[in-house]
Structure 1
Amino acid sequence: MDSYDDKGGSAWQPPGAGITGRPSAAGTAAQPPAAGMAGLSFPGQLTAVAVLVIVGLLACTHLAMVFLHVAPSNTITKQYGKAVDAWVYPEFEQNWKLFAPNPLQQNVAVQVRAEVAKGDGSRTTTGWIDLSAEDGAAIRGNPLPSHVEQNELRRGWDFFVGSHDDKNRPNGLRGQLSESYVRRIVMLRLEDHDLGGSVERIQLRSAASAVAAPGWSTEKINTRPVYRLYPWWTVNATDLPEGVRNGRTEAGR
């Protein structure tokens, strides 16, 4: 039986008669935001693309420079060898000592002493500070030692020794660069020591001792250290890395 509204019109409608085919606002499903770069604005997408291109170019350049550094001498390295060395040294230097027929059989410690200017105008010389031993103490027992603690001083010293002759004179630009690098490392390490004044001069030496034979071996090896002493260096502003105030007491001078 049909039903009627209060105005006399029929209230009955066939199924689907009131559906227009467009869902109501309340029933509209929320669209998930676009993922990745598609979710950025157009300027943001341009910035992201530019950053990716720059990073990619730097990565390719670095790989090419390292390859040319370790590759045999060729036309490119002969023409652009200085540019390759400037990019690689000293942080990215490569070598094949791990695969050498005679691996390193010495422990080499880098030690420093400093001439310190006191606040009253007097000067004093510290005892020898073993920087390598400090690195070893920081690494020992640490499951995740930093790359700086493991390699900064060791690789910097290898670079320094390899670019100086038997009379401790630098071999060209590489020798001068290695001196500057080692000086900055040493001054950075001395910042952790309260020396009682500002450091005016530093002197380095290496202590090389042969690795002792294993307990099961009958080989007799002399493990007494052999020292190599380097000249005194006068400290200047270029030897102070960012944040180093030269002995922490310079402000009181």
Structure 2
Amino acid sequence: MDAYERGSTGPGGRYGPDRAEEPRGTQGDGEAAAPSAPAAERNAESAEGASVPSPRSEAAPRPETGPHPEPAPRPEPAPHPEPAPHPEAAPHPEPAPHPEPAPHPEAAPDAEVGSAPAPRSGVSPEQGASGRAAPGQDTATPSGLAALSLPYQIGAALALAVVAVAACVHLGMVFLYVAPSNTVTKQHGKAVDEWIYPEFEQNWKLFAPNPLQQNIGVQVRAEIRTADGGYRTTNWFDLSAEDGRAIDGNPLPSHTQQNELRRAFDFYSSTHDGENRSTGLRGALAEQYLRRIVVLRLGRDDAAGRGGVLQRVQIRVRTTNVPSPEWSEENVSTAPEYRLLPWWTVPDGEARGGVR
């Protein structure tokens, strides 16, 4: 009941702040009802400090009652700190005017909000942020033959065709050269040799015959003109044996020591018959090549001696068959066979040290 009474007598009550509470009637012996002391104190506090009308009271203008101490300002609640951006969340850039905007999927997280995304590599400004070409625009860059004009394309195609045909012809000639003797090589062997020699000479065969089972030694002797004007003939120098001694015990022998003399004689024997007569245009070249090698080797051995000059040289080839193994029934002769070549005159340029 006190609460309702305060509401009626308070500043915003039905009776107003200046209207005293009317007696509520007599009880008992006619004693007037007076507000109790606690109720009076509460009413006084309500009259002095209340500034907000009661929600249940009707709106009424509040009379001026004199200066009241302004209430302390209510502290505003601290603003909530903005959540830090997610380290992996990319800021959404402003959409481009393209009908299908698409932000860069790998935009840096520290990019400023509202800044235009940097164009990606290989995307032209006309393509926009979406990376798509504008309608009607061809983004494919021609390369290779397509980048050339029509006349140059025709010329390049013709050049490639010529190269392809030449490569096929060369491979065919090499195949016929290394293949065993057949009808084509018998009829067109000269054309094949002209194509192969001398730049494309091959030292192998497609179907190799029996391996070499002979020991071939090249020997040479020379006719020397001495310092007093006389002539003398040297003994036989076994040049193949010298190469063998140089190779024995050498883990990395020279290709010259292994192949120079042997290849020179193979070249000579392939261009000459058993009577040492040339069988082709390369016979003179093979003879000159072999002669220069033996003259060079005699010069290294100082075969002419002090004051002597080489005048002529003669080559002898010693061939010995390799003995058959014990389990083989093949019987071969191991007696050496000699092939004696004619005397060759040494030109002055070669005789006086012109060949080195």
TM over 0.5: yes
Structure 1 position 84 matched with structure 2 position 188? no
Alignment deviations for residues 18-66 of structure 1 (CA, whole Å, 9 cap, x no partner): xxxxxxxxxxxxxxxxxxxxxxxxxxxxxxxxxxxxxxxxxxxxx9998
| Partner residue in 2 for 1:210 | 321
- Structure 1, unmatched stretches of 5+, are 1-62, 246-253
| Partner residue in 2 for 1:223 | 334
Alignment deviations for residues 57-89 of structure 1 (CA, whole Å, 9 cap, x no partner): xxxxxx999856632168x9865743531224x
The code of the aligned residue for 2:323 comes to: A
| Greater relative contact order (Cα < 8 A, sep 6+) | 1
Structure 1 position 94 matched with structure 2 position 203? yes
Q: Are the structure 2 counterparts of residues 129 and 235 from structure 1 closer, same or farther at C-alpha, using a change threshold of 3 Å?
A: same
TM-score normalised by length of structure 2: 0.44
Equivalent pairs, count? 179
The 3-state SS of whatever aligns with 1:189 is helix
8 A contact 1:184–1:240 mirrored in 2? no
The 3-state SS of whatever aligns with 1:202 is strand
8 A contact 2:225–2:310 mirrored in 1? yes
The 3-state SS of whatever aligns with 1:96 is coil
What's the offset of the Cα at 1:240? 6.5
What does 1:131-170 correspond to in 2, within 5 Å? 131-170=239-278
Structure 1 position 233 matched with structure 2 position 341? no
The code of the aligned residue for 2:175 comes to: A
What's the offset of the Cα at 1:114? 0.3
| Partner residue in 1 for 2:300 | 192
TM-score normalised by length of structure 1: 0.61
The 3-state SS of whatever aligns with 1:178 is helix
- Structure 2, unmatched stretches of 5+, are 1-166, 177-183
| Partner residue in 2 for 1:105 | 213
Structure with greater helix percent: 1
Structure 1 position 127 matched with structure 2 position 235? yes
The 3-state SS of whatever aligns with 2:199 is helix
Q: Are the structure 2 counterparts of residues 189 and 227 from structure 1 closer, same or farther at C-alpha, using a change threshold of 3 Å?
A: same
8 A contact 2:221–2:235 mirrored in 1? yes
8 A contact 1:188–1:240 mirrored in 2? no
When the two chains are superposed, the root-mean-square deviation of aligned CA atoms in Å is 3.3
Q: Aligned partners of 1:200 and 1:222: how far apart in 2? A: 37
| Identity across the alignment (%) | 48
Structure with greater strand percent: 1
